[in-house]
Every structure is written in structure tokens, then in C-alpha cells.
Structure 1
């Protein structure tokens, strides 16, 4: 079988979820501006996505998951999310459909399914990206792979002795398989609260958290969180006294389903257990609880293994970025990280927050790919 041909673009976006599509929107706008004569040459670009379909992580969430905000405050740049006619806020399925429409509306050049194995500095500058469908060269890489494929589960003594089922947020699809079973939900963030609430009517749920749950005020939604984070980042950048951040307000957004379960007394958290036993879990005082299932709602880590060959500088466990532009790598002016959270842009892991980070990233990427004498390192 002949090898796939080498493909070349100015800007390669790795990841076709919400962050990758937002970058694609601004890259596509440069192309439209060139076609209309409003600007000079636009960079060529492509988006590589490991998923077989559009929708990013949203296509993998459980059906009852809902956004923190109404549709009007949950849009990517350029095209507002259509209104949601169901109860509460838009569902994960609604978001996935929105992303499918968004990609088609702007005819973004997404290639899928394509799995990236590694990104290397190319001889003479730029990057060589190896995938399961051939190689790409580019002058710029925008890495927008998210974290869904890297679930984090902490090590707890005795976990290999537990005879029940263990799964992660990434594996949860709904309450039906757990009806009538004893389920322990671990995690004091939004996923833990939402999954515990989702299961409360179907299973015997025990919710455990390392610290007492901290709910944000009931009137705080995703838009308010974005505004809070943005004001704090701007104040810090200007050397001004910083207002309280999101973490100072709480950890859990009280979306309608969580609020209903909380107010009904169904979300009473217990402290984290200390070890597993064959039939369940055990606390430090030797109290035991029988469990059929343990669901780890303990977060994710950025999916960056394919960048190991670049030997990037790290800071607090993630790639170091430029203080002047938090999406740009501190090691290279042509490598960017988009959509992973506050370390690469305030609220950049959210639908409403990723647009500003994508706009600034694409502007910087355009300049980087035009720079004379460019080298990747």
C-alpha cells in the first residue's frame, strides 16, 4: 500500500472540538477577507480531528448533561447557538448539533478521523506532524486537543482488590445501567454533583468529596463565570488589585437539576474514603460501605502526549506559555495551546470564553507564519 502523500499548510490546527472550530472560524475569516480584497494573502490551514464525527467531547457526554448557561450566552464566534426549547439549559446533544452546524456553515477544512502521533520540529523551520493518515508540514501549529481522552483517576489503596465496577466521568452515559445498585460517586466539582444528581432517583448513591461541596450562588451561570475570570485576568495584567476569582466563589454551578437534587436533600456529601475493600470502600475509622460501582468524577489532564518530541518547558505541570499571550508557547512563537483552561486564556475551556483566545491566537499565528527566518525553536 503506497504511503500517504505529504501535505503542507501554513497553519495546522490539531483538534476539531469547540476550540479548534473557533480557531478555524478566524482563520476562515482571513481567507474571506483575502477573497474580498480587504486584506493580503491569508494563511492556508487545515484542522485534524481524531473523532469520526463533529462535536468534540460534547458527543460523548451523558444525555442529561446541561450547560451552565442559556444558549444565548454559550456561542462560538460568528454564529449564535440556536435557542433551546427544553427545560433548564441546553443539553450536550444540543451543543454537539450546534457544532456540526457551525462547522458546515463555515465549510471548515476538517479532516477526520485523523490521529496525531507526534509533532516534531522540521529541518529548516516549522513542524512535521505524523498521523495515522500521513504527514503534514506547517509553519504554525495550534494545539486544541482538549483533555477528554486523558481521564484522571487517583491512586487509592486496595483498588485492585475491589470486585465491583470502576468507571470515570468519560464512561458515564446515564443512570439506566445502575438502577437499584449501590453507587459511589467521587468528586466535588460539577461532574460529581451532576452525575450524583442524575443517579439519585435510580440508584442508592453515596457522594464523596475531599472537601465539603461549595456551591456557587444560584444566580451565577457560565456567562457570569466568564466575566469574573476575565475581570481578574485583566486586573492582574494591569498590575491592579485583583477581584475575587471563580475559585473564591465556589466549585459547583447550581444548574437546575443539581439545585433540585440539593434542595431535596439528595446531595449530602461524605468525606473521601481511605481505601477499597473487596466489596466496597472503607473510611479511616474502619467504617465500610458496600458498593457495586464507583464513578470517578476526578477530572482530566491535557492531551499533549504527541508533543513530547518538542521537549517543551513546563510550568505547574503544563507547557509554559508567554505572559503577553497565554496561548503561545514560551518555547516557540509558532506553537499555540487553545482551549485547555485559564493557563492558556481566561475561560478558554468554555464555549463563551474560547472565542477571544482563538481570535488572539489566530492573529499571532498569522504573524508567526509570515515572519522571515522563522524556526520552530
Structure 2
């Protein structure tokens, strides 16, 4: 089957992908299925069964009042919602309404198997192979995010543990831990939020690799923008992006304060190993556990880009201003400095400006 020609393939219909699609439309691109005549075209491919990106998989207790980040898409504000409503009940419907409002015609469910070069011509096309069709694109905007790649660190004895181990990606509610002893691993916002939540019904033991550096500064838009800038140099050099928390430190969120006031925000050093019924600490002491909850973050979902051979020896991809330095036809948004929602919105707009300026020969 011959590849379907298209100007831009957007991979992923989360925050970053929908932002890119919106800006493509604003600059005259149309979904490839509606193209008439010589107009620039795009297609958005999404692996999910329905709209909503990662929001549809968040745990039910993540409420609109405690959503971490700016989740508003460009050109269409989030409808007013009860702050106590679950974000996974509100935001997927908002994403669906967004796709319909702007007629983005997202193709789903489609899994991208690989992105490769058609030939050695640096101005040639990139071939996007999926389980449904193959596309030949002038540019690819990769917006696959991280939710599908939860990171599980490895520790000695991990396979011997007789209790339950789960990642925050699998978390449902605190009730499943009632009366249990839960070791919570991780220093991010999710770790602290779930520590506060679970500690109401269970005995918790919080461990991190490094002592958290708490900041009293508000984690507002300027703080988020500063965090985005903090990882720019890493991805430019081809280093793994790292976490925003590693740049900003830990901010005093309402749930962190609540946990502190109840005396459960007590950090312990990372355990040295895992045994059948708990964890062994660096000083040799033993902590019994029924559950280990790994709040250890996610990694970018980029395996489908492997044929492009962009990985550096350090394990990252060299990116500047959202664009691959070693494959200029590829943009990575929602990656590195654009991994937050506010960064993803800006990166989507910037990618489209760059693509448009090349096509027209006029600087955006």
C-alpha cells in the first residue's frame, strides 16, 4: 500500500498535539480528509480509544481544584466546573468538545509503529507507519507525552516482595490501602499528594533518593515558565530531560501543608533493598510493608522514533526550540522544556510557526 501524502503528521492528541493542530488550522492547514485542491494538510493520530489524553487515566481523587498545571487549550477556555469534580470526568469531555469545535478530525485508535526517512534526501519525506495506514509527511510533530511509559526503578530483591507493587499510573483510590502499611517512593508532586491521601486510611512510610528542597515561592505561571527554561540546556545537549521538580525544588502545595500538619510528611532515605515483607534501610533496619507505591515519574514515549537514530550516548535526543537538531523535519513537543501543559501549548505554536515559515519562505 502506498503511503498517504500529507504535509504534517501530528502524533498524539493530548495537550501538545491538540495545540499543534489548532495552530495548523489557524495558518491554513486542513485535515487531510477534507482537503480540496492544493491546500496544505495535516493529520492527527492518537493511540487512545477516545479524546482526553492522559487525563482520562488519572485517579478519581485528582479534583479540578488540585489539578497540577495549566490545562487550558488555546482558543477555547475550560468550561466552569465544580472544584470538587474529578479531573478525569471533566477534562476528557473538554478535549472532546475541543476536537469537535475545531473539526480536527483526530484519527483513533492508531498506534504508530515507526517513523523513518523515505530516502537520504534531507528535504525528502518522513514515513510514519501505523497499525492502520502509512503516511508520507514533510514534517512530523511528535506529541506522545509520557503517560504510557511509567518509570519503575530497579532495586535488589524487588521480585521477592510478597505484597503489592504499583505505579501511580495504576492508582485508583485510597480505599484499596485501608489498614495497610504503604511505602511511598518518590519526591514529586504526585508522591506528596498521594501520601496525604493514603495516610488517612493507612500507615505510610515516605522515601526519596534525595532530601527534598522545599520552596515557599508560589508555583504559579512564572515559576512554571522558569522550570521549563531550566531543562532547555539539558535537551539541547542531548541529555535526558529530567524532571521539573529537579529544577524547581518542592513547592508547598495545599496537600503538602495538610500532610505536614497531620505529622505524616516525614521523609526517610531511600531503602537499600526489598525483601519478602518489606524494605531494608541503609542503616540495616527493617520496615515492614504490605504495599510499595512507586511515584517515580514517567519517561518520554519515543520508541517509534528509533529508526531515525537520534539517541545520544547519554540517552536523550538533541532538541532546541522544540525541534530535533539532528532531524529538522521532526518536532518534539511535550518533551523536555515543553513537558508541562503551559510549555506544550507554546511549543505547539512555535512548531507550527517554524513549519509555516519554511513552506512559505516568510519568517513567522
Instruction: Verify: 1:14 aligned to 2:15, yes or no.
Output: no
Instruction: Verify: 1:296 aligned to 2:297, yes or no.
Output: no
Cα offsets for 1:272-300 (capped at 9, x unmatched): 11001111111122211111110111111
* Equivalence map 1:34-73=2 (5 Å): 43-66=40-63
Matched residue, 2:331:
336
Q: Distance in 1 between matches of 2:27 and 2:207?
A: 49
Mapped contact 1:45–1:109 kept (Cα < 8 A): no
Pair 254,67 (structure 1): closer, same or farther in 2 beyond 3 Å = farther
What is the deviation of 1:351? 2.4
Instruction: Verify: 1:354 aligned to 2:344, yes or no.
Output: yes
What is the deviation of 1:167? 1.1
Matched residue, 2:169:
170
What is the deviation of 1:255? 3.1
The SS at the match of 1:319 is coil
Q: Which runs of 5 or more residues in structure 1 are unaligned?
A: 34-40, 236-245, 343-347, 372-377
Instruction: Verify: 1:364 aligned to 2:354, yes or no.
Output: yes
What is the deviation of 1:91? 3.0
Matched residue, 2:24:
27
Mapped contact 2:60–2:86 kept (Cα < 8 A): no
The SS at the match of 2:221 is helix
Aligned length: 344
Cα offsets for 1:146-174 (capped at 9, x unmatched): 11111111111111111111111111122
Q: Distance in 2 between matches of 1:49 and 1:269?
A: 39
Mapped contact 1:190–1:251 kept (Cα < 8 A): no
The SS at the match of 2:215 is coil
Mapped contact 1:189–1:251 kept (Cα < 8 A): no
What is the deviation of 1:207? 1.0
Q: Which runs of 5 or more residues in structure 2 are unaligned?
A: 31-37, 234-243
Mapped contact 2:16–2:333 kept (Cα < 8 A): yes
Pair 249,170 (structure 1): closer, same or farther in 2 beyond 3 Å = closer
What is the deviation of 1:256? 2.4
Pair 112,32 (structure 1): closer, same or farther in 2 beyond 3 Å = closer
What is the deviation of 1:105? 1.5
Q: Among residues 274, 278, 281, which one is paired with 1:280 in the alignment?
A: 278
Matched residue, 1:327:
322
Q: Distance in 1 between matches of 2:292 and 2:326?
A: 41
Mapped contact 2:3–2:136 kept (Cα < 8 A): yes
Pair 68,365 (structure 1): closer, same or farther in 2 beyond 3 Å = farther
Q: Distance in 2 between matches of 1:32 and 1:120?
A: 23
Pair 79,28 (structure 1): closer, same or farther in 2 beyond 3 Å = same
Q: Among residues 113, 118, 125, which one is paired with 1:117 in the alignment?
A: 113
Q: Distance in 2 between matches of 1:189 and 1:51?
A: 26
Matched residue, 1:267:
265
Matched residue, 2:241:
none
Matched residue, 1:374:
none
Q: Distance in 1 between matches of 2:134 and 2:51?
A: 22
Q: Distance in 2 between matches of 1:262 and 1:315?
A: 41
Instruction: Verify: 1:83 aligned to 2:80, yes or no.
Output: yes
Aligned alpha-carbon RMSD (Å): 3.0
Pair 233,258 (structure 1): closer, same or farther in 2 beyond 3 Å = closer
What is the deviation of 1:69? 7.4
Pair 226,72 (structure 1): closer, same or farther in 2 beyond 3 Å = closer
Runs of 4+ in structure 1 displaced over 6 angstroms? 67-72, 230-235
Q: Distance in 1 between matches of 2:96 and 2:26?
A: 18
Q: Distance in 2 between matches of 1:338 and 1:190?
A: 22
Matched residue, 1:108:
104
Q: Distance in 2 between matches of 1:117 and 1:165?
A: 32
